Structure 1
Amino acid sequence: MSGADLTRRMVLKSSAAAALLVPAPSWGRNTSAPRVGRYTGIREDGVLAFKGVRYGRAARFARPVAEPWTGPPVRADRFGPIAPQRSGANEPMSEDCLSLNVWTPDANVTARRPVMVYFHGGAYSNGTVTDPLTHGAKLAAQADVVVVTVNHRLNALGYSWLKPLGSAFADSGNLGQLDLILALHWVRDRIVAFGGDPSRVMVFGQSGGGAKIATLMAMPSARGLFHAAATMSGQQVVASGPNNAWRRTEALLAALKLSRGDVEGLRTMPLERLIEGLGATDPVMGGSLYFGPVLDMTNLPRHPFWPDAAPQSLGVPMILGNTRDETRAFLDPRGPKLQGLNWDNLAERIAPEIKIDLDAWWVVERYRQQHPEWTAERVFYAATTAGRSWPGQVIEADARARAGADRTWVYQLDRPSPLDPLRGAAHTDDIPYVFGTLGAPGSKSGTDAAALATRDALQGAFAGLARTGRPGLESWTPYGLPDRATLVVGETIRVENDPRRWERELWSIAPYVQPGS
């Protein structure tokens, strides 16, 4: 993306960000428009919606500070700008992006409904909660909960490690996480006014959003801010070590043609130029630069799930889930990586896609012996999913079980997309079931009776966890060792012990290399 293209797609403080604070006295006097405090929202799909509510502000590479609750009237009828990123649809982007969105059945301070706070995916580099799949109106209405979705700083702006350039930047490696913590403080202090119960706050997130939650579970300043958690195809076993994080910062500085110590240049350069630098090659893992939470020994004093599950969160009830065919979402069956795939080249196609260092030829032979009826394509997706996208969930669930956390539940989405036969049950496919956004743009779920039943099961389970600390499915057995009870969500919904035991044992022969480590 060129700087010009990025600039055209980006609205900075003078425009989109300022829209967060535009007074609307005449619009606000409309009796049909809901108002909470100084925020005037809208009615949407049978609930009240307050969008683009600012929860904080932050200078570049600085800790966020809370937005005052009182002040001039604010229209909260549109999403705020999303965090700057290299790819992010045609939406306004701004460094002034610390906003959240609330959907509530009604803003009655006595209602005390459970609160479900969603953190978006996109690793730590991109993504937004403006995606129609994650609009909260249907979830709020169907599950009778208050839904909050949060934007925060990403990539180098939220996670670059600058402490070697001065103690003033000691928090830099975890600023995106500190944004989320500030948003949770906002929920704790303000959600009653929107009809929510601050003593029943559940965080949930898909992909990178789940990883952010796993990281929060090891951050002392997040303790007590949420009372249940659910991760969907998102794990963070270990954070980035400070030395690898610094190598990444050095690569960014080099790509921007800045000297090794030029933190002022990095802090003041035009935003579009900084974003262009994110395309540099990652010196640790290859590919584009990775930025994520850093083991800084203050904000994050230990790895989230290594060498064990963080003790501070063992009492937090937790759902962990993955989809059966994760990698079909980003290794396109119609794309170049699958063109000409056959048994002769299968291993060399698998090798660069996995995060566990095993001989790919040996792996292929094990799959062929176990499943002689499978095609090369099916082996490719099974191996890349089990060797890349699934191991973190197994590690986290096992770690909680070994530590005695008895309120852990695991699910596996098996229901294939009825709209795309080549997709299977891929990464992100559980989102519309939980949010109830089956017919939204981008959903692969369909809207038939089976989709509705799957929605009822997953949405009910998540809302049940928020409401009572237990999923809303009586038959769902907690996860423990050695049984590893798992809710398998396919055309039927059943509990099965260790449903992919053979693959789990195969891939546990060697260590999992967490992206970023």
Structure 2
Amino acid sequence: MITRRSFLANTSLAACSVSTRHLFAFTPVAPAIVRTPSGSLRGESIDGVRVFRGVPFAEPPVGPLRFLPTEKVAPWKSERDATKFSAAPMQHKQLDVPHSEDCLYLNIWAPEGSGPFPIFVWIHGGGFTDGHAFEPMYDGTDFACEGIISISVEYRLGVFGFLDYEPLLGQQYAGTANNALHDLMTALSWIQENISAFGGDPARVTIGGESAGAKLIGTLMGIPSAQPLFHQMISESGGAERIWDRAASAEISKGFGDLWQKQSGETIANLKTAAGTALIQAQQQFIETWPQHFPLRAELDGTLIPRLPVETIASGSARGKRLLLGTNREESAIFIGPHPAKDATSIQLGNMSVAKFDAVYQHYKDIYPQLSVEERRIRAVTAEEYWIPSIRVAEAHLKGGGSAYVYELEFQETSGRLKGNAYHSLDVGMVWNHPHKQVADAASEACLGKQMHAAWSAFIRGETPAAPGLPAWPLYDQQSRSTMVFGANANAESRVEQAPQAAELKLWNETL
């Protein structure tokens, strides 16, 4: 059985195959030179798209800067080669690319011309412990061909980005459970200061992400000091609930410190100089043995994050901004499988205890009598992890003076183990216009992918999300809860539903 822990390292591999025209340049490649306030960059121009890889936005968080909040990159004097991707962040996932603590870089796909172009900044997923920004799926060529600058951003993962070292190493390390958020905000600051050199419009920055990336989007919405750095948001399978209070964060830190000393025989102080691979090994053992799922996450520190993000959003932190947000109907099928052997345990729940979950789940047979036991379980775990947290973000954003477009993907995979499910990450390949090609109904998936990609592009440009063949997509409100449902197969067209899953939502609201 594939668990969420074992799967998250391979989210993108499950999501799509990639158009080879983005990977192999059969047309001439010309140099592309851009002079930014940070320094000159030499990238490549391919088919009218300028590509700049491995662009630093922060000082390397190594040596004396290990575990500390991000420092802005110092300008460089000579022309910098931007034709190669940087290393991936340190992680347990086995990749065919280098890993390094020196990972704070971004990648840019920009149209030719002076613009001004809208900007799409992508934050990858991976459970806060895995993934990287230059997976082929995130190739931004298609967005650039449509007049959008696409940027993918690296951030520190696991114990480098989401562990509070203050209880272990002292006050200098206060708030370090939010290092990844500092990384992302530093990247967004770099974009504000430098993107005009690429023809970008710093007043039109859309931040987007999927899974852990979408949860970071929800958290950024609730950080007051981050608001000048972006103007609208896209959240795919997210929410804003995966955050510890200080007491829970300190308990996590102590647990990791105890394991580190026992496993390594080293002192706590040696965390500052230990090999990165040793820290990753300790991290993996810690995750596998800690009783709560996703122990490494951001912290309600009272400074960067003053209150729970949903509360801050509801009070107007992202007032006036537009949000595009949604989930997939059977997200959790990919983690717990179509034929689960047992009821939900803490290893499958991201936001609550088993006891709280069971209080809701025991009523699922009443509202979904037509579903099998495994179908009900997949639906309930999906709601706990993705759907309910996403709805809470949307409704908090409306309360805080923002607007939202909400969607649900019910397109069902047409072959393989997950046939018949709209599983977690299936939407990503469609949004990037890189859908599966080796499936039974590849034509339908490609068609829906073109529609979703076009709708996302329209939203990034500041328009109503729309595409040929899609019905008009109305704004979400708490009364009608208008939701765009992307169709299940070639014979089920996309449609707008009013108050979808009303009984299920009522159950969650009343029980909790």
TM-score (norm 2): 0.83
Measured in 2, the distance between the counterparts of 1:363 and 1:302 equals 26
State whether structure 2 residue 500 is matched by structure 1 residue 502. Answer: no
Measured in 1, the distance between the counterparts of 2:206 and 2:307 equals 23
- Give the one of 190, 195, 209 matched to 2:194: 190
Q: What's 1:53 paired with?
A: 55
- Give the one of 129, 144, 155 matched to 2:158: 155
Distance 1:264 1:421, change over 3 A: closer
Distance 1:291 1:367, change over 3 A: closer
- Give the one of 432, 442, 455 matched to 1:461: 455
What are the within-5 Å matches in structure 2 for residues 184-223 of structure 1?
184-223=188-227
Deviations 1:171-208 (A, max 9, x none): 31211111101110111111112121111000000011
The question of whether the paired residues in 1 share the 8 Å contact of 2:411 and 2:486 is answered with yes
- Give the one of 383, 388, 396 matched to 1:386: 383
Distance 1:47 1:60, change over 3 A: same
Q: Secondary structure at the match of 1:41?
A: strand
- Give the one of 80, 89, 95 matched to 2:86: 80
The question of whether the paired residues in 1 share the 8 Å contact of 2:334 and 2:418 is answered with no
Instruction: Name the % identity.
Output: 27
Distance 1:352 1:212, change over 3 A: closer
The question of whether the paired residues in 1 share the 8 Å contact of 2:476 and 2:483 is answered with yes
- Give the one of 111, 114, 117 matched to 2:115: 111
Q: Secondary structure at the match of 2:88?
A: coil
Q: Secondary structure at the match of 1:311?
A: coil
Deviations 1:78-131 (A, max 9, x none): 21101101114232110000000000121x3x3111100000001222111222
**Structure 1 unaligned runs (5+)?**
1-29, 512-517
The question of whether the paired residues in 2 share the 8 Å contact of 1:416 and 1:425 is answered with yes
Q: What's 2:101 paired with?
A: 95
Q: Secondary structure at the match of 2:383?
A: helix
Aligned length: 465
- Give the one of 123, 143, 148 matched to 1:139: 143
Q: Secondary structure at the match of 2:269?
A: helix
Bigger mean CA offset, 202-211 vs 168-177: 168-177
Q: What's 1:65 paired with?
A: 71
- Give the one of 408, 423, 440 matched to 2:404: 408
- Give the one of 19, 30, 38 matched to 1:32: 30
Residue 386 (structure 1) shift: 2.0
Q: What residue identity is the alignment partner of 2:154? A: N
- Give the one of 380, 399, 423 matched to 2:396: 399
Measured in 1, the distance between the counterparts of 2:298 and 2:362 equals 37
Residue 363 (structure 1) shift: 5.8
Q: What residue identity is the alignment partner of 1:105? A: P
Measured in 2, the distance between the counterparts of 1:273 and 1:351 equals 27
What are the within-5 Å matches in structure 2 for residues 1-400 of structure 1?
32-37=30-35, 38-44=40-46, 46-57=48-59, 58=61, 59-106=65-112, 108=113, 110-141=114-145, 143-164=146-167, 165-237=169-241, 239-257=243-261, 263-281=268-286, 286=291, 290-306=295-311, 309-333=314-338, 338=339, 341=341, 348-349=343-344, 353-354=348-349, 355=352, 357=354, 366-400=363-397
Q: What residue identity is the alignment partner of 2:147? A: D
Q: What's 1:8 paired with?
A: none
**Structure 2 unaligned runs (5+)?**
1-27
The question of whether the paired residues in 1 share the 8 Å contact of 2:293 and 2:346 is answered with no
The question of whether the paired residues in 1 share the 8 Å contact of 2:357 and 2:384 is answered with no
The question of whether the paired residues in 1 share the 8 Å contact of 2:120 and 2:148 is answered with yes
Q: What residue identity is the alignment partner of 2:163? A: S
Distance 1:229 1:364, change over 3 A: closer
TM-score (norm 1): 0.82
Distance 1:308 1:226, change over 3 A: closer
Q: What residue identity is the alignment partner of 1:114? A: P
Q: Secondary structure at the match of 1:101?
A: strand
Q: What residue identity is the alignment partner of 1:34? A: A
Measured in 2, the distance between the counterparts of 1:361 and 1:180 equals 36
Distance 1:445 1:72, change over 3 A: farther
Residue 264 (structure 1) shift: 2.7
